[in-house]
Structure 1
Amino acid sequence: MLAKALQPYGGNVIWRAFVYSHEEKTERSLQAYNEFVPLDGQFEKNVSIQVKNGPIDFQPREPFSPMFGAMPKTPLAMEFQITHEYLGFSTHLAYLATLYKEVLDADTRVKGIGSTVAKIIDGTLVNKNITAIAGVANIGSDRNWTGHIFG
């Protein structure tokens, strides 16, 4: 409904694939996959689904989300954590660029070798025009918003 309302104005909807249900019997890492993958191809053309880099919740080490490569008919956006919430709680410096690179370079092999997450996100693997990468950050009431000099 929202996507249809925005279409005449060239607007896009980015819908976050953030699914947690304590009532769901399915293992948490599969909940977003089970919720969204069956809907592949049913969204309006101006809808992109924003998927966390990993299937759990920004853990320092986890594989890339299985949703990348499982929704060829739907534009997917990458969601990276740029806050240090799970990486030192904003009191320690954490360098995240290598994590981002590792995820973007990961090969889904959905269309053979070279089907990287980056090619899914930038639309080149499945001919999508809507592309996005988002960063999730926490801000606080500190003068520099984060309480950390590098933040």
Structure 2
Amino acid sequence: MERRIDTDPAGPRGAVDGWALETGPLVTAAWLLVVLALAGAYGAGVLWPYYANDLDAVPLAQVASGAHDPKGLWPAVGGPAWLHDVGAWSLGALLLLLPSAVLSVFALLSARRRARRGRVLVLALVLSVSVAVVAVQLSPLGRALASWVLD
């Protein structure tokens, strides 16, 4: 019986300090689609109405205070009313993007030597979109928009 010694510096099966997260191409593609859907829902349901109603000309403190009720503005009035619901729902769903960013770092570290270049690029895109949307959410604009939408 031949005994094989794993000489991979990353450890057995791509583990990094005991952590391994290996994703197949289907899981990676589905992961990207979910992240893009969450980012798209935030853009369509929160950012688009904010700019369409010209609230970017109003101070953020006034927007966050509830002076401009989103139920009295487009899209709730004169547009697809369900878009406002998508915006409110997307704020809660964005909580999934922070763990997504952390998991994509582990997946990138695990896949850096064994995965194909396309999968590494998709994982890097997942990481980039997750971090970008979370950064917008944690910014003063993101906090003001969350207060505005949930008003």
Give TM-score scaled by structure 2 length. Answer: 0.25
Larger RCO, structure (CA 8 Å, separation 6 or more):
2
Which of the two has greater strand per residue?
1
